[in-house]
Chains A and B, each alone.
Chain A
Amino acid sequence: MSRLVVGPFNRVEGDLEVALDVADGRVRSAEVSASLYRGFENLLLGRDPLDALVLVPRICGICSVSQSAAAAAALAAAAGLEMPANGRLAQNLIHACENLADHLTHFYCFFMPDFARDAYAAEPWHAGVAERFRAQRGSALADWLPARTDFLRTLGYLAGKWPHTLALQPGGTTRAITATEQVRLAAVLREFREFLETTLFADRLENVAALASADALFAWAETRGDADFARFVRLAAGLGLDRTGRAADRFLAVGAYAGAGEKGSALFPAGVREGAAGAIAAFDPAAVAEDASHAWFAGDAPLPPARGETRPLADPAAKAAAYSWCKAPRYAGRVVETGALARQLLAGQPLAVDLVATRGGSVLARIAARMVEVARVLPAMESWLRAIVPGEPFCAEWQAPQSAQGVGLVEAARGALGHWLTIERGRIAGYQIVAPTTWNFSPRDAAGQPGALEQALAGLPVADGDKAPAIVQHVVRSFDPCMVCTVH
């Protein structure tokens, strides 16, 4: 058996190391390590509750709004506060803009460049894919980056700047847009739709959102020429990426875009589901516990976040079993996967359901779920924008409670994010964060269960002497990890 250490793992947000034990040409087991500790949970203690809105976005430059939204939701829950309709619509627009930009930044900047590697030079598709997706130089960046900047105007209008806005408040948003700004925002969304419908899909968003099976997806990709997502689907089918990278196949979501679904529910529901055949169980925040048995923290017993603690070890080497600054969150003691695939599976989107039912979670399923989500969310954004009534309020007044607890649950691009807040005597007395990649990239727990990525890596083929197996790159990046959130 040989050990292969892969790091620094580029084109993920933050610092990541993956150690693989390889035997007989296969990964026998994997250890996923977050090699940076940041300590935000402790920075928050003793502060004014509203200061969380300044600090938590700065955990992460790519899911900054998700962190804001979770903090605002936790504060609102603690205060029992409801926000006016315009505030909810504006928060959802702001959050959706970040999430969609993240999905596509992941696709164009982080994920696709691996197919331009020389390792694939013998593939018939390589020359075209390399021209299009080569890191830093591919022609796709010249299309995507300006489209992204234009789309981020949504945040310029509604949130002032990005990342690290203070526009999301417990009571709504700080920026009441005018009727003329509503018209301009409609143009921003319209032009982004044009980008998606020409460059990414070569098809109407509604047709992509309606893709109903793996077979339909493969057939669709054959008819879409050089559209970027279609290119990926074709090469992924050829490489078998629809059957690569399966993790625990237990999926968790906490609900995305509050109030945007039927009868005031979330647009994409919360829930927990085993594969595609299992029943959907309700998500119970009380079933979440974080285990630090294999992390460089003191305290081995799993703790619910409401009573959680973060005590980094002054001498990490002294804890032999530990190999990461990431704790191991578990749901009812089990490993779960979170992200766009979980959201779309739990929302019953037929392509996501079929991919998981026929093949289990995979590299292709995770990417396809993101793209289907893009195709579903932009039309929702268009409807939210139309529903804003200029002149009506955007923000409810509030008073921070002196003593209270609140949980804020939102869906970042890369999955479920929870903030558990305790206020005592008007100050933050407890703050625990469980981030999406903490779920997906967790180390082992006390029972020895490997985390979701660790499971997805086991069994992958690794050629003798290959120091950077492409297949490992694809599987790791298919989760769209955010390590800086992980090690908050």
Chain B
Amino acid sequence: MSSSATSPPESSESVTRKSSKKKRPWRYYNILLHRYQGYLFLGTTVVYAISGLAVNHMEDWNPNYSQQRQTQTLAPLADPENLTPAEGAALYSAFGIGQSFNPENVFYPDEHLIDILIASDEKIRINTQTWQAEHERTVRRPVLHLFNFLHLNNAKKAWTLYADIYAIALLLMALSGLLMKSGRKGVWGEAGLWTLAGMVVPLGLILLYYR
């Protein structure tokens, strides 16, 4: 039996569907690429954008840690290089530290300073000239620290590979966005004008600052 005798004849509708599937223009795949990359890398883009804002203003604030400081004036210590347990307890009490005086370490950074390291994130610095003591607690910013850790590639290793993939994806997203404009002029029309307009400010700033 011939195959034409066993298989049902194709309807004109399914033939049209098949042929239209084959004839999909490259712009269709361009839109798919743009769309699905957008979905896939949305989370990473949020991380990089928020961290970018945070680290851009590093001169004005600490994007990774918040530091809580309080200052007290102390009575001069009898022997600054040998704090007694009673002096230590009084010092802790002055700053409301509710634990017994058992610091991780005591350092003498220079002639007039004593650093009492309570924990890696908490210390008291005493100036033996002014007898001013500063208690400093460093608290990691919960979300931003993580975002900056990723954005600045502090992890290195496999994150470098992921960041490379993301960079390529960004490039493809930009190019596929540019090529998305249909019409007679395509990229040479409105899309091109917007692209050029977007380059004006960066170019101006380059001319202004780049030496």
A and B: interacting chains: no
Where the two chains meet, the residues of A that have a C-beta atom closer than 8 Å to any C-beta of B are none
Interfacial residues, chain B to chain A (CB-CB below 8 A):
none
